[in-house]
Structure 1
Amino acid sequence: MASEYQMKTMLKELTDARGIPGDEKEPRQVMEKWIQPYADKVYTDHLGSLIAEKSGEENGPKVMVAGHLDEVGFMVTKIDDKGFVYFQTVGGWWSQVMLAQRVTLLTKKGDVTGVIGSKPPHILSPEARKKPVEIKDMFIDIGATSREEAQEFGVRPGDSVVPYFEFTPLKNEKLLLAKAWDNRIGCAIAIEVLKRLQEEKHPNVVYGVATVQEEVGLRGAKTATHSIQPDIGFAVDVGIAGDTPGISSKDADSKIGDGPQIILYDASMVSHKGLRDFVIDTADEKNIPYQYATMAGGGTDSGSIHVTAEGVPALSITVPTRYIHTHAAILHQDDFEHAVQMLVEVIKKLDKDTVETITFS
């Protein structure tokens, strides 16, 4: 029971932390706290990605397991003379999920609460009401009466704006509701993989990595991979769940609770066939459930990992998640557990000969 409580505490602290691309300090501190006990050393690259290194065998293959620290959010661009705050999206947002949502502005003087607003529908023409409000027509109301008052609150251009939401297990306690599952669940997987490898013999050097700036172009994965020079790379992230009303199996057929997703193809990479087959064979052998998924748009840190230096065999393993890139997403704890189990079993089987076979298969 203690370990279940500890797990939920870790997931809450990771998802409640605030960190948009370029301002990942809070989640990085949480990540370091939880992964430090299981690592030989922990350090950051110059862009801010956190790297935790754990040796099985000192000169064994280097295996990178990377989640990303950042979440989608906003940045203050200007304050008007009435004290309303205008912003830039940082990462991908759909305008329909933004209006009337609570946000937190992280300022030099502390947190400032706001709500995203727009012109009310009551004064719009019937034609205008039928159209979604464009992001450029939205603003953040922080309760200031003037530009000067907003500045007194500490608000200035460049400040991070983060969705506000608290980690909440649903009535079915395996279903977990939180902001920033994209991609604090990947960070949690990296932590848990290192933790479980404490008790296991394996012939590798494993790197649990939390990258920065994934949502704006897989940027931290570039620098972290250059720093590590891994032999094998895994990106662990969220994927699309297709089990809500209105989604056909042609669009997305993964269900939460049915296992992690093996990504075959996305817009950033064609998954490495040798590594993909090795992971699938291992999962089958150990009776670990999984699902296949493809994404015509979007990508994960594997997109940067696999083209670093001379190339890195890489694969994305994702947790199917509902309502990503919104204030509140839902995933299933069993999918998290099975993603960890899959990676641990794969790492235990990897050695120099196996890595060479995978690389050239």
Structure 2
Amino acid sequence: MKHTMGKEMEASSEEKQIAKENIKNSLRDLTGLVGVSGSEQDVVKYLRNSLLPYADEVNIDAYGNVIAIKNGRTSGPKLMISSHSDEVGFCVKNILQDGFIMFDKIGGVSDQLLLGRKVWVTRNKLPGIIGIKAGHMQTPEESTQVKTIRECYIDVGASSREDVERMGIKIGDPIVFQSDFMEMDNKDLVCTKSVDNRIHCAILIELFKELKSMDFSGTLFGVITVQEEVGLRGAMMVANAIEPDYAIVLDTIPAGDTPDIQTEKALPVYLGKGPVCPIADGVRGNMNFQYIHPKVREIIEEQALVASVPLQVLTLIGDGYTTDAASLSSSNKGIPVGILSTPRRYSHSPVELVNLNDAEGVLRIVKGIVSQNGKKNLSFI
């Protein structure tokens, strides 16, 4: 029975290629937008407009969480599949009298990434540069030091505070790394900023497209949350409003297959070897430690098998990784939740690298989960 079902559900090579191209095109658009936590408006507009033709209803709540609803043909559980719209970045802290800008971090950005970078300032993407002292003038000690954000500044080509203000720049305006969308020699590998987590926003758009003519039971809530990078805030707002019966959180996960990581000992996650299912995760100190629900794990693993998608499984506890699942699992009296992740290298940098085959695998698994919604008992024992 499983063998026959797998053949029915397995996508053809042509279908996989079309899905990858669609995901790539949406990802190119989405990563070209400015959407740091608290300033996700342009990303939210894009997602609303992209989902409207395929959803029965698309709502935006007061904080910008996107809720796309697709009703099945028959009654059944409420299934929430979520991504998040925000990216890490910065905001304007102060504008100095000589026209340089001081800035704060929003989310986890390493100080090692700052000096000499191009940035976009405000949602209008005004060009700027994080300044760096001329190498000719650096002392030997300075040439090896990493400057903190408090020692850095942004140059927008202004000579006074008034010049900066005339550009329309204000205190609190968002700032992101300027990063081109780059395809590697292998066109399935793409690199840019904010792959975390625009890749799964793109996957949700493609999921709704493919569900347009598919029968399923219950109700699908395709959710894109805000402010994940600064405390998983949007997820709790939405979960308490929707009250789903169970949820699948889609997010990226660091790949450990680079020379600077002991892959098998520390982070056995590989680019190109399929989606990842983190069984347990938690930030340093384990304040948000959580296991995924055992029945939701079964659902993910079963649908990966049916769709012939390789699945990487691991725990990632105490290493600074967590997702909206930590927030959802304790919302609305406790929501059974699982995580499905796309690996990407160079986390929270302007050069995040992802393999579109892994992303397409996520799509096939969640499509299978929707198709079988309501066919599995979610009770803990």
TM-score range, shorter chain: over 0.9
Matched residue, 1:181: 195
- Cα distance, 1:278 vs structure 2: 2.5
Matched residue, 2:273: 258
Out of 82-91 and 262-271, give the one that drifted further.
Answer: 262-271
Task: Report if aligned partners of 2:225, 2:235 keep a CA contact under 8 Å in 1.
Answer: yes
Count of paired positions: 356
Out of 342-351 and 214-223, give the one that drifted further.
Answer: 342-351
1:152 aligns with 2:166: yes
Matched residue, 1:359: 379
Q: Deviations over 1:285-337 (max 9, x none)?
A: 43211101332322111111111111100011110001121112110111111
Matched residue, 2:358: 335
Task: Report if aligned partners of 2:307, 2:364 keep a CA contact under 8 Å in 1.
Answer: no
- Cα distance, 1:164 vs structure 2: 1.1
Matched residue, 1:292: 313
- 2:198 maps to a residue whose letter is R
Q: TM-score, normalised by structure 1?
A: 0.93
Q: Deviations over 1:196-252 (max 9, x none)?
A: 222322112111111100000001111111121111111101101111222112121
1:226 aligns with 2:262: no
Task: Report if aligned partners of 1:69, 1:210 keep a CA contact under 8 Å in 2.
Answer: yes
Q: Deviations over 1:7-45 (max 9, x none)?
A: 432121111111110010111111112211110000012
Say which of 314, 321, 329 aligns to 2:337: 314
1:23 aligns with 2:23: no
Task: Report if aligned partners of 2:23, 2:199 keep a CA contact under 8 Å in 1.
Answer: no
1:208 aligns with 2:222: yes
- Cα distance, 1:134 vs structure 2: 1.2
1:350 aligns with 2:373: yes
Say which of 86, 92, 96 aligns to 1:80: 96
In structure 1, the gaps of 5 or more residues are: none
Matched residue, 2:108: 92
Where do 1:7-156 residues align within 5 Å? Answer: 7-57=23-73, 59-106=75-122, 110-156=124-170
Q: TM-score, normalised by structure 2?
A: 0.89
- Cα distance, 1:359 vs structure 2: 3.3
- 1:206 maps to a residue whose letter is L
- 2:280 maps to a residue whose letter is Y
- Cα distance, 1:4 vs structure 2: 5.7
* Whole-angstrom CA distance in 2 between matches of 1:258 and 1:241: 10
In structure 2, the gaps of 5 or more residues are: 1-16, 283-287
* Whole-angstrom CA distance in 2 between matches of 1:17 and 1:128: 34
Change (3 A) 1:22 1:37: same
- RMSD of aligned Cα (Å): 1.8
Change (3 A) 1:285 1:9: closer
- 2:273 maps to a residue whose letter is D
- 1:155 maps to a residue whose letter is I
For residue 97 of structure 2, give the secondary structure of its aligned residue in structure 1. coil
Task: Report if aligned partners of 2:36, 2:174 keep a CA contact under 8 Å in 1.
Answer: yes
* Whole-angstrom CA distance in 2 between matches of 1:83 and 1:191: 41
* Whole-angstrom CA distance in 2 between matches of 1:171 and 1:50: 35
Matched residue, 1:192: 206
Change (3 A) 1:359 1:187: farther
